[in-house]
Structure 1
């Protein structure tokens, strides 16, 4: 409580702290400022490291996927090439028979065995459509080899070969248009 004389005015003065505000309220001292800047640096460094690791991991995952796709494609290509080689050997025997030429030294049974084995490699590595086309082609060649097919019965060698080739092109993702027959 303030006691004053009559007619005297009471004037309240601001405290000294309020008249001259402390610089500590508006600016940090050297230790606090350097600590905050160091923490900001640590935060930015950590954020940069995490972003860099994320990007590097992402690139590595994409590279790994591409390598797997390439390896799978190479495996499919090898199986398809092996199948085509075996089919070509069987067709050679059939063509020689059709022309009345003597059969090659290798027995036909071995050639058929190689063909069926190569077909299984296609079944293991390729899509269902490619495997089915290989199976159909193999069955047709087998029937022709054993003279179990009469002209005009079932699919021809040429149709089965064409169906397999188109399925194989799709399996190898060639992206090229279909071959006109």
Structure 2
């Protein structure tokens, strides 16, 4: 005798039906909670990344401004010397010390390109202050200042075109 396919319908009673629907509800609720937590965590990670990037940029910017302030004090002394005017009463050694210290802050907080440009600019200013190289062989501080400014602008991602000289 050949078996015929069963055509019986399985009917759930009220208790079984309620239990299955409750389990489906729990599964959907759990899935929704997990997806919500994933999305919230993802947003938080992105926010944290942006905050860290902004903090690093701010730290780099402060270091750059510190170097520029120290360099400006040195350049004032050099300009006054070049014009034959008396220099300020502050010792030049203290100014040079401040300049080298500010350069180190740039090295610690900024990218290699900016740190190298800061080092080169500081070295040229130091050389000019100490008059250790004859004036015809002395590198121009203007070129090194320009190189540092462009490296700093790139480090701060200004998105602006290069400064024309």
TM over 0.5: yes
Cα displacement (A) at 1:175: 1.3
Superposed CA RMSD: 1.4
Aligned to 1:159: 143
Verify: 1:89 aligned to 2:73, yes or no: yes
- Give the whole-Å Cα distance in 1 for the aligned partners of 2:26 and 2:42: 24
The count of residues paired between Structure 1 and Structure 2 equals 160
Given the alignment, which residue of 80, 87, 101 partners 1:103? Answer: 87
TM-score (norm 2): 0.93
Moved over 3 A (4+): none
Aligned to 2:50: 66
Question: Gapped runs of 5+ residues in structure 1?
Answer: 1-17
Given the alignment, which residue of 31, 34, 44 partners 2:15? Answer: 31
- Give the whole-Å Cα distance in 2 for the aligned partners of 1:127 and 1:154: 27
Question: Gapped runs of 5+ residues in structure 2?
Answer: 1-5
- The question of whether the paired residues in 1 share the 8 Å contact of 2:103 and 2:122 is answered with yes
Query: Per-residue displacement from partner, 1:130-181 (whole Å, max 9, x unpaired)?
Result: 1110010001000100112333425310000000000001111111111111
- Give the whole-Å Cα distance in 2 for the aligned partners of 1:67 and 1:144: 40
Cα displacement (A) at 1:27: 2.5
- Higher Cα Rg: structure 1 or 2? 1
What SS does structure 1 have at the residue aligned with 2:31?
helix
